[in-house]
Amino acid sequence: MSKTCLIVALDMPDLTAAATLLKKLNGLQLIYKVGSGLFTLAGPRAVDLVHKYGGKIFLDLKFHDIPNTVRNAVESAARLGVYSVSLHLSGGADMLEAAVSLKKRPLLWGITVLTSFDEKSFSRTGFKNKIERTVFNLAALGAENGADGVVCSPREAAAVKKRFGAALQIITPGIRLYDGGDDQKRTLTPAGAASAGADFIVVGRPVLNAADPAAAVRNILEAIQ
């Protein structure tokens, strides 16, 4: 099994809180996810802050639009110097191809089915297949059109890894140390996700809500290694 890397979700209310967390985690081998909450508030300053502490950035803005708009967004992200960006694979082949065509770009990680869905809620979205089949179909679309990786829950990671192998990186949110009963429906532990073949796990609340975030990160790193 290849090494699994840890991405910490920097889902903080403002830059001051983000800086406090970055100080506590400084020196640990991490990638940081900057999502829509912090980026909407602070914009590129959030990216600059993480770079100040030497961190790589997964810019998780889930681009989903017409091909030219997404291409422009990915090009802007490249100018910010981020490591990777997310986009919805349901945006289709033309959208993916437009983003892939950029000569200088971050890694493109395609969103399959959000981890907040279970089968009951997913059935109301209009997709005709169940979650696992939809994840598999969207992953195939990503692989065929140049995506570097796919974002799926750890529950689907093993099946995606078995089918696509090294052709697609597997990024799994929905990581919980135990069943916390929150808005994440399809979850696994860090060790479970790593065993399923995840190349990257995204962890937010188990670190952000910990009394000692650095200790929580070290425990997770030990579990996935």
The answer to whether residues 197 and 139 touch, using CB atoms and an 8 Å cutoff, is: no
Active-site residue, from 62, 128, 162, 185: 62
> What whole-number distance in Å separates Cα of residue 36 and Cα of residue 40?
6
Identify the three-state secondary structure at position 186. Answer: coil
* Separation between Cα atoms, residue 5 and residue 224, nearest integer Å: 8
SS3 content of the chain, % helix, strand, coil (to 5): 45, 20, 35
Active site residue 33: no
Give how far Cα 1 sits from Cα of 97, 176, 194, 204, Å: 30, 21, 8, 24
Instruction: State the catalytic residues.
Output: 62
